[in-house]
Chain A
Amino acid sequence: MSSAALLILVLTLPVAGILLVVVGGGRQARGISLAVLVGNFAVAVGIGGAVCRTGRAVTYSSGGWTAPLGIQLRADGLSVVMLITAAVVALAVGVYAPNEFAVRRGGVETRRSLAFWSLLLAVSCAMNAIFLGNDFFNLYVALELLTFAAVPLVCLTGTRATLEAALRYLLFALTGSALYLLGVALLYGNYGTLDITKLSGLVRYEPGMPLWVAVALMTSGLAAKTALFPLHLWLPPAHGGAPPSASALLSALVVKGSFFLTVRLWFDTVPGQAGMRTGQLLGAMGAGAIVVGGVLALKQERLKLLIAYSTVAQIGYLFLMFPLAGHVGALSGGMLQAAAHAFAKASMFLGAGLMAEVAGSDRLDGLRGMGRALPLTTCAFVLAALSLVGVPPTGGFMAKWQLLSAAFSAGQWWWVVVILCGGLLAGGYMFRAVRPTLVEGIQPAAAIPRLREWVVLALAVCALLLGGFSKKVLELLDIGRPQITEMRP
């Protein structure tokens, strides 16, 4: 097996894990899942090593059938950064989760243990498939995999409110899938291939109305799945109501899946072709997300809802890369933001879960004294908040810095204003979340295993380190990119 075969391994390993969890029942679910997630991380790093070593994208054609008839998997710099990010977050959630989805005494499987562990592995598999897909139909299957893994995670507790949130999420997600698929059908009808590399060559010579209708359909479908403002209505109840481990997966990873596909569509398939106006429209929606999400986050009284609205706002930054496409820093800023937000947000949701376990609820006014009760978690919480606000030297800062410099070099000063306003708003709502934890107060004694606290801290430290190692990450992001990406449109 060559290193290219690792691409297949990173897809099939989680699938094998799901099968073992379904067959082995709850008793073994945790052990199987953790083993698979560790393996998943190792393979992701292995792929990263192969890409760095060769300095080129690694590809693999399943069954030996080459594209366009067969399916090609392709790992470039973007894939590697996201693969490793997702593997770290999924592993962290797996280590954190046991207490929440423990198996009943006597080793009898429960509804939650079966569902949680198989869905965790499914999210992992779907993310990997999205990061490696180089064929729009293969990517559609990956997207469906992600939807069917994510929606049940919302209603794991089974309460009426979470079922409603899950149903609403399902409707948005399926509408998004249908629009995406319509676009894919149009692309095939017009070009006779769905391979991204082949398509990017064809559209340069034969753009036209069908192409733009397809891109519009796919982009709106993906935006609904990513919860881009004003299609964000499903996100806060879904992410705020799910169990903390599920919220962490949903906010940190799942929304990045459809975002990543949007990047593949705009930066890899039709680079430098979209008019100024469409990019500005996506950017404007992102700006709306930053402002509206930020203002609504300021108003929340429950910690998990506050964090969920912060996700709405942070997703906005991701879409600022589209109007700035072609300027140095746009693509890398957006991707850094995706990774930094994944670490920080996973840390925050998991930390919020621990705090709610101690305090009995996640109401902000009940968090006093948390700094003494859970020092490690509170420390992680502050670090993650700094990254989300964009304070140097965190990953969040580097991401926003890249976007700012792209905005300056593009001469589009209005995005600078948006980014600065977003930073102020984030500072405001994060201050509201952090302040009570640092104030003196008395919390009931609760036995939280140290390991779970360390996991929360480790994720926050990852967000911090991403800033420190941003130069390396930026170099990695450039590997295997078509030259056109960083040119003026």
Chain B
Amino acid sequence: MKVTLDHLTKVFPSRNRKTGKDVIAVNDFCFEIPDGKLVGLLGPSGCGKSTALNLLCGLLKPTEGRILFGDEDVTSLPAENRGVGMVFQNYALYPHLTVRQNILFPLENLKGKDKLSKEEMERRALEAADLVQIRELMDRKPNELSGGQQQRVAIARALVKTPRLLLLDEPLSNLDARLRLQTREEIRRIQKETCVTTVFVTHDQEEAMSISDVIVVMKDGVLQQIGRPQEVYDQPVNLFVAKFLGTPPINVFRAKVKDGWLTIGQQPVLALEEGIEGDVMAAIRPEGFILDENGPLTCRLTEVEVMGRDITVVSNHPDCENVEIRSIISSDETVDLSSGSVQFALKSHKVFLFHPETGARIPFRVKA
């Protein structure tokens, strides 16, 4: 089932009646979540992504706009009737019920024509438990489980009623680093097996990039960009998105376009086709640097980190916003630390230009 958000807005009235301004947690969202896909809602904390999730499941009512499940308008349908499955950040497993009772809980709520027999419920609970591989834990209480196991139970409970939409709120934030990697693969697998349209919220761009079919980048309640992870990485629409995605982060320089040349400091680094003039922000991905003795960009070299497969060259430049410039090059190359400086040439498709005030992307073409 595809989900459509149509001019969705959520405003929280200010707590402080006198001075405070209303908080616009979600501002005029318009996008479509394609059927059967895994969508990552990504943004720094406080950007409104959890609010968006709560609007989708019906725990919050939008101030304006509509939500459509397929063709049905569910905007004012209460959470109870939406038929979505949700995994909460702290899992919200009922502590007084066993794993089995927790998983059965949503099924026991079904009424009327949807009501299931005892055997059918049991069968579906086991099916869900098998899917997340926790069959042997069925008679334990939540406090006897590890964080990862609790996470699986929460997923099973969300899936058992075969929801139209599965929502996960920061599903990995309470797990340690090792489990995090494992669990995110697990979520990917479960989503593939069940083909349920899934939305998850995260502030960790790596997490979102690695498993999502589509990522939605948000900032301050405003949708920034939506697209396949690679697409968003390769074609960020603004400086925020460019900075938010990628580790190590993108390197941002205060630059100028003068006489058809992109100029950093006094050094002309790229020849551009006509049409751009004046101050710009030039952002260069770490993998966009090429070691080249005759390269146009000179940086002060501080350190070289050898990571096996590749090398990180750490340097700095007075016009760079980042404290240190991190560039990743193949380990076949060698860097001479003693010289104290390093020369780079640039891969033009890894260089983006942005408007210095608005941060909007400025498209350019390299002069051949």
Chains A and B come from one and the same complex: no
Interface residues of B (CB under 8 A from A): none
Interface residues of A (CB under 8 A from B): none
